[in-house]
Every structure is written in structure tokens, then in C-alpha cells.
Chains A and B, each alone.
Chain A
């Protein structure tokens, strides 16, 4: 296992001077912005990971580099963040990437140093979903108030609301989750989702 020392070199990205509380607690967006949300100022993000985390992140990052230039494509950024335990929405990632065009997404590449403040932004997100958030979100569809939702209805919701999922994605997700009546115990479902 070759020790990857380059991750430890002095971070030029840390331009943020040791500012008071505002550095560690990122300001939430001032207003519920509609489609065109302003891009985030990544240079103001204080990257604050332990050396162990940096090693882990660098390793995961490397796994996604299919070209061998120590970079990844913009369109891979969401997945790398997910691989590292985060759950950003696609919209979050778009915003963090600076609202790139489809062409940018496919062709622009990002190095590890550039990735870190992006990851930090997601890690710092005060609106991160919790077990309770997800359960409450699904409870809306629990018509009988008995802790279950119809699998078929959940599938429709996933395909038509929010950031619509494709049928193949939904099938993969729902595999083994519906009981013999086609019902899903959503608390158990969320626990299962959060276990990986």
C-alpha cells in the first residue's frame, strides 16, 4: 500500500483566515431560492477533515479517476460524495459545482483539492436529512396510519415527485422491501437505507 503523501502538503485552498464562528458554521441560504440559486463561494469554505479522513477521501476519489489524471469528471462528483457517506440532492451538487452546463458536467474535470471544499459544504449542510425527516416524509403516504405505505404508491411518488427516479433505480431500491400485500414498513425501510 503506497502511502499517499501528496494529500498532506500545505493546502493552498485554505485562504480563509482564522475567522470567528462564521467560518465553521456556514450561513444557510438567505431565502428559499427558486431554480437559479447563486453559486457557493468555495474559497470561503474551511476544509476541516482529519488526516485519516483525508486518506479515505483521497482513496475514494482515486477510485473514480478513470482517466489517470488524478481528477474526476464533474458528473462523478455526486457519486463520490455518496460513496463517502453523504446524501446530497442533485440540485445541491449542481449548485456546489457552480451550475455547470451539461457539457461541463461531462467534460470538466476536478482535482482532489478542488473537491474538498465541495465535500465540506455538503458535510456542513444544516439541512441534512435525518432518520426522522425521512420517516416523516414517508408518513405522509401512510393513509391508514399503520406504519406502512403501499409499495406501488411509493414507486409512483419516487418517479413523479422531487428528483424523479428511473424505473430501474426504483426497482433496485424496492427489491425485497414489499411484503406479500405489496406494503412497505417505512420505518424499517428507512433504517435499512441508512444502514449503508
Chain B
């Protein structure tokens, strides 16, 4: 496994061991952000698929 480190300079801040997998607060925050991302992607997809209908609804 060590040879991998020699081939690639590891950016000192990119330590994946810092990811708080078990922290409920971190997971809750992540879920919230992911929800906004999913919302965005669904709306973007609908916009791309339906030019006229979507633009009409945009008046909200």
C-alpha cells in the first residue's frame, strides 16, 4: 500500500479519515444538502425536458 503514496503526492488537507461517518449531526446536514441537490437536479431535468410548460410555471 505504501507505494501508492510515493506515486501520488497526497494533498495534506485531503484526509478522507476526517469524514464523520457516524456523526448524526453531520449526516443530518448532509441529508439536507443532498435533498437540495436532488431538488435542483429534478427541476433542472424538467426544465431541459419541457421548454414551454416550465417557462409558463416560472411566473410563481
Contacts and interface: CB of A to CB of B under 8 A. Distances in A.
A193 B35 CA distance: 11
Nearest to A136: B29
Given A173-B41, A196-B43, A138 B19 contact: no
Interface stretch (A94-102, A103-111, A159-167): A159-167
Main secondary structure of the interface of B (DSSP, over half): helix
A102 B39 CA distance: 22
B11 A137 contact: no
B16 A194 contact: no
Contacts of A89: 31-32, 34-35
A133 B35 CA distance: 12
A123 interface: no
A157 B36 CA distance: 15
Given A59-B57, A161-B26, A169-B41, A87 B35 contact: yes
B19 A156 contact: yes
Given A88-B35, A129-B35, A153-B14, A83 B46 contact: yes
Interface string A2-38: 0000000000000000000000000000000000000
B4 interface: no
Interface residues of A, number: 46
A62 B16 CA distance: 44
Contacts of A190: 36
A82 B19 contact: no
Contact of B53 (A59, A138, A140, A162): A59
Interface of A: 52-53, 56, 59-60, 63, 78-79, 82-83, 85-92, 129, 133-134, 136-138, 140, 143-144, 150, 152-153, 156-158, 160-165, 169, 172-173, 190, 193-194, 196
5 contacts: A82-B38, A82-B39, A85-B43, A165-B37, A173-B40
The 8 tightest CB contacts between A and B, nearest first, are A162-B30, A162-B31, A87-B39, A161-B30, A82-B42, A137-B29, A82-B39, A89-B35
